[in-house]
Amino acid sequence: MNEKVRQNNKQALVALHSAVLLFALSGLFAQWLNLSAIFIVFGRALFAAITLAAFVYFFKKQSLKCESKTLFALAITGGILAFHWGSFFQAIKVSSVAIGLITFATFPVFVSFLEPLFFKEKFCFQALIQALLTIIGISLILPENNISSHVFIGACWGIASALSFAVLTLLNRKFVAKSSAKKVALYQNTFAALFLLPFIMIAPVAISIEQLAILALLGIVFTAFAHSLFNYSLKTISAQTASIAVSLEPIYGIIAAYFFLNESISFMMIIGGGIVLATNVWALHNK
């Protein structure tokens, strides 16, 4: 491996882990923003869409036009993205960053189950074992005999977030894999904001300049910029390596929540989360 290739790989790895760190830190905004999950997602998607549109049009000098067939798929996936983010932030709001991130980390197992249905591929028996291990891991972090607990409710929202992200990932592969990554992100964020706009208009809320600035930071840096870094890394790094790096997101997020939000984590949560993350890496490794 020559020096130039080694340098490119190093830059790509730095970009990849920076993106994963930003993705992980985005969960903290659910606690920093005194807004509903719907409003947070609307603002995040809106600021991200504006940033990506400016980048594609002014810096990349590319047209923002999109084929009508692809546009329909982007509209559907944009709606799913809105639900995914909304359920993710709701999971954190009603429980904790740790619960939200650990339960979201189950998405590779959902992908393993759903992928054969989407692409008529052979079902892998390992997916059943992975699902069983995931259920065991999640059960360890849940309170016993208390389905009304905020931890249980948060876990349900987190699992819904994981399932919707798995569906989003598979739909992206099926319908928009050949499209520009930045255009896909641009239109999906735009449609996510449009889908949520009626809810914002029905129940408008007052927002301070400080909260608006935090929301803009989430959309611009922790969404648009983070996705750009992630896409840049994929030009050099394999998808498998990138996927395993993404599995570190809960670890980054939980550590950040400990320092910035003073969130505690129990021994059983460590054990259960460890099982989920190990299963996550196994599922991603088989891709």
Domain residue limits, the chain = 9-59+67-285
pLDDT value at residue 116: 78
User: Helices (DSSP H) in the chain: which residue ranges?
Assistant: 3-25, 29-32, 37-54, 68-94, 97-104, 107-119, 126-141, 150-175, 181-202, 209-219, 226-234, 239-246, 249-260, 267-285
- Nearest Cα residue to 117 out of 177, 188, 181, 166: 166
Structure-derived torsion over alpha carbons of residues 15, 21, 26, 31, reported in degrees to the nearest 10: -160
User: pTM of the full predicted structure?
Assistant: 0.87
- Residue ranges in the chain modelled with pLDDT below 50: none
Phi/psi at 129 (5° precision): -65, -40
pLDDT value at residue 47: 97
pLDDT value at residue 145: 56
Q: Whole-angstrom Cα distance, residue 174 to residue 120?
A: 12
pLDDT value at residue 148: 62
pLDDT value at residue 220: 96
pLDDT in tens, 193-250: 999 999 999 887 889 999 999 999 999 999 999 988 887 887 777 656 676 777 788 8
